[in-house]
């Protein structure tokens, strides 16, 4: 069971990393197109990555996945 949890943790981490990279690529592509629905707040323009809730969710998911991998690696007896 511990090996299954370890493998699933690695898969979750990979999905989070791939999703994060894909989201960043889409954000850059939209920035290059120059088409926005509404004017963007100045605070968000100064820090576009920090103020983006989707990117923060990916970062949190990645950190939780790494934390669970480390926890399982330390507490699992092989």
What's the mean pLDDT when you consider all of the chain? 79
Checking if the pLDDT of 34 tops 80, the result is no
pLDDT at 78: 67
Mean pLDDT value across residues 51-64: 83
Checking if the pLDDT of 33 tops 80, the result is no
- How wide is the angle at C-alpha 56 spanned by C-alphas 43 and 2, nearest 5°? 170
The overall pTM is greater than 0.85: no
* Percentage of the chain exceeding pLDDT 70: 78
Cβ neighbours for 16, distance < 8 A, ≥ 6 positions apart: 58, 61, 62, 65
């Amino acid at each position: 069971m511990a090996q299954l949890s370890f493998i699933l943790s690695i898969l979750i981490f990979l999905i989070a990393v791939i999703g994060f990279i894909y989201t960043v690529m889409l954000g850059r592509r939209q920035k290059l197109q120059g088409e926005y629905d509404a004017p963007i707040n100045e605070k968000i323009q100064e820090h576009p990555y920090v103020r983006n809730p989707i990117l923060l969710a990916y970062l949190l998911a990645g950190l939780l996945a790494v934390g669970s991998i480390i926890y399982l690696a330390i507490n699992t007896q092989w």
